[in-house]
Amino acid sequence: MREPEPISVDYVVAGAGVAGLRAAIELSRGGRVLVLAKGNVGESATAVAQGGIAAALSDEDEISLHEQDTIRAGDGLCDPQAVHGLVEEGPQDIQELIGWGTQFDRSGTRLAFTREGAHSRSRIRHAHGDSTGWEISRALFAKAATIDRIELRPQSFTIEIETSPESAGIAGLRFLDEKSGREARVVCRAVLLATGGLGRMYPETTNPPSATGDGMAVGFRAGAVLSDMEFIQFHPTALAAPKAPPFLLSEALRGEGGVLRNAMLERFMPHYHEGAELAPRAVVGRAIGSDVRRARSSHVYLDLTGLDEEYVKKRFPRIYATCLTYGIDITEDMIPVRPAAHYAMGGVKTDLSGRTTLAGLYAAGEVAATGVHGANRLASNSLLEGLVFGARAGQAMLEDAPAPHGSKKQSGRGQKGPAKQKHHSSSGTVSNGPAPAAGSVRAAHAEEEKPEPVLGKIREILGSRVEILRDGKELARAIHELDAMELPAPGGPERRAWEIYNMWTLARVVARSALAREESRGSHYRSDFPYRDDDRFNRHSIVTREGPVRFE
């Protein structure tokens, strides 16, 4: 049977979260852009993000303080240039979002701010109380829908990056068109990976069902370098109620005054860190993990009962309603919580403008390792990173692979990133999609799945041996067990088979990277190497499909 003709566009964006949509808006200034959304409109980690987006916009704040807080949380591995770009460009990019219709919460006529862990100032903007990601997603979709050059294709799952033998660069990609049940091919000038994270490979995660590491895996198979894959951030407070999935309970709950209590209902965080409940996430998560092990319990408690009842309901409407469905009134009851896999600091290695180690391939958002987060992400910096580096990546794609003379380049945002930094390393109808309607975005907790035996085994290995508290013996055992599974690469139009293969591929990389880093830093804690070792490991890990984990 003859293969159908490929779709031809100027640029392809795989992923429709904040990074992908912001890049697509930027790219539309210079050519036709195809955005491939894995699921339906609005089903991304952006859409379910609760807490907020950080930037120095309040009168009491300064860009330099946000920069210091980010670097401090990153525990020695932040790229200073990346952090400076993030915090410097963030305020004006958020103002741009507001100009596009994003409705952040206000106190009177002024923007409302809250504080989260490891922030020295109240600089977190939120929307609809605890639905910030949804509001940002809504505004970006609405903006994109007004631009004729942006085409959104839902239910399109990226499975392979295609390279050009002549140029050794990217020629396009293949994806599964789930509406037709067939593979499709796109040829283009450049590809941006903006597919999000990998949390669904863990047994307990706050991530939406789409977070199966697809962009990291396809980039890795194509030959791109992955970096810092050992650094998996576990959110300290996921709901641990009976029969409830691990729904994320925003750090803003603690920022507003919630406290953590152990099985004896004693407040314990002041014993671990001077910041108490607002210590860096890695510290809070490990403290909870240690307390749970010591008490042989399954959870600790988050206590909001000392806060004003009406304020809690108004400030956290989605969290209040969700917990109520599991019989917990957060204004009256202690909330059972425990850590769950939440965010990957590592990913496809990029420069400061989203360029990967493969010509023509770019990455932005959680799929990328930009150096912004170092060993531990500062709370509410992820939406900001997607916004800032999505725009930077789009700008770099226009500069590196300009559309042919048929597409007029429109004036856009000025050059704000650094000079080019090249890395060199050892069909169907497409149409604009609507903005997601209120209530259309499914929360990560809403879909409980019965995993296939292979996926269940992967999750069991990671949950017991590559967890928040690690040691070399268990990591080595995890690698052995994962390698022994020997999954063959899928060859048909079955999305779930590809997702499981992607998660298995990345589980092996994460375990190998964690074993290679013989120290404790940020979100990576080794009980057999409990101290930070700057002499040997104040460097980023890198791994390719051909070789072992190295440190650069």
For residue range 508-550, what is the model confidence (pLDDT) as tens digits? 999 999 999 999 999 999 999 999 999 999 999 999 998 899 9
* Range scoring the smallest mean pLDDT among 209-213, 225-229, 425-429, 469-473: 425-429
Band the pLDDT of 493: cuts 50, 70, 90.
confident
Whole-Å CA distances, 473 to 232, 467, 476, 526, 527: 19, 13, 5, 10, 10
Backbone angles phi, psi at 541, to 5 degrees: -80, 145
Q: Which of 92-101, 119-128, 436-445 has the highest mean pLDDT?
A: 92-101
| 438 token code pair | 């209120």
416 or 207, which is more confident? 207
pLDDT of residue 412: 46
Collapsed DSSP state (helix, strand, coil) of residue 475: helix
Residue 445 has pLDDT above 90, yes or no: no
Give the Cα separation of 364 and 15 in Å (integer). Answer: 10
Average pLDDT of the chain is 87
pLDDT of residue 419: 37
pLDDT of residue 31: 96
pLDDT of residue 288: 93
**222 in Cβ contact with 544 (< 8 Å):** no
Residue 141 has pLDDT above 60, yes or no: yes
Band the pLDDT of 431: cuts 50, 70, 90.
very low
| 482 token code pair | 């994962």
Band the pLDDT of 451: cuts 50, 70, 90.
low
How do residues 95-124 score in pLDDT, each as one tens digit? 999 999 999 888 777 888 877 777 888 888
- Strands 182-187, 170-177: pairing is antiparallel
Residue 54 has pLDDT above 70, yes or no: yes
Whole-Å CA distances, 542 to 43, 226, 228, 473: 30, 6, 7, 22
Beta bridge partners of 152: 35, 431
Question: Taking Cα atoms as reference points, which of 371, 281, 359, 382 lies closest to residue 17?
Answer: 382
Q: Burial, 298: exposed, middle or buried (Cβ in 10 Å; 0-12, 13-18, 19+)?
A: exposed
Neighbour count for residue 495 (Cβ, 10 Å): 17
Q: Which of the following is catalytic: 115, 123, 281, 470? A: 281
Task: Please give the distance of CA 304 from its chain centroid, rounded to a whole number.
Answer: 28
Give the Cα separation of 47 and 220 in Å (integer). Answer: 26
**245 in Cβ contact with 186 (< 8 Å):** no
**350 in Cβ contact with 372 (< 8 Å):** no
pLDDT of residue 46: 54
Q: How many residues does the chain have?
A: 552
Give 509-548 as a 3 state SS string: HHHHHHHHCCCCECCECECCECCCCHHHHCCCEEECCCCC
Q: What share of the chain is helix, strand, coil (3-state, %, to 5)?
A: 35, 20, 50
Residue 108 half-sphere exposure toward CB, CA atoms < 13 A: 1
Helix or strand holding residue 481 (H, E):
helix 472-485
pTM of the model: 0.87
How do residues 323-340 score in pLDDT, each as one tens digit? 999 999 999 999 999 999
DSSP 8-state code for residue 186: E
* Range scoring the smallest mean pLDDT among 180-189, 327-336, 440-449, 492-501: 440-449
Token pair 């631009």 in the structure block, residue: 147
Residue 231 has pLDDT above 90, yes or no: yes
166 or 266, which is more confident? 266
Residue 433 has pLDDT above 60, yes or no: no
- Percent of the residues in the chain that have a pLDDT greater than 70, as a whole number: 88
Band the pLDDT of 471: cuts 50, 70, 90.
very high
Looking at residues 300-318, what average pLDDT do you find? 93
Residue 409 has pLDDT above 80, yes or no: no
Question: Taking Cα atoms as reference points, which of 511, 131, 79 lies closest to residue 315?
Answer: 131
Residue 43 has pLDDT above 80, yes or no: no
Give the Cα separation of 361 and 526 in Å (integer). Answer: 34
The string of DSSP codes covering 406-445 is TSPPPP-S---S-S-----------BPPPPPPTT-SPPGG
281 flagged as catalytic? yes
pLDDT of residue 405: 55
DSSP 8-state code for residue 355: B
pLDDT of residue 407: 53
Give the Cα separation of 51 and 380 in Å (integer). Answer: 7
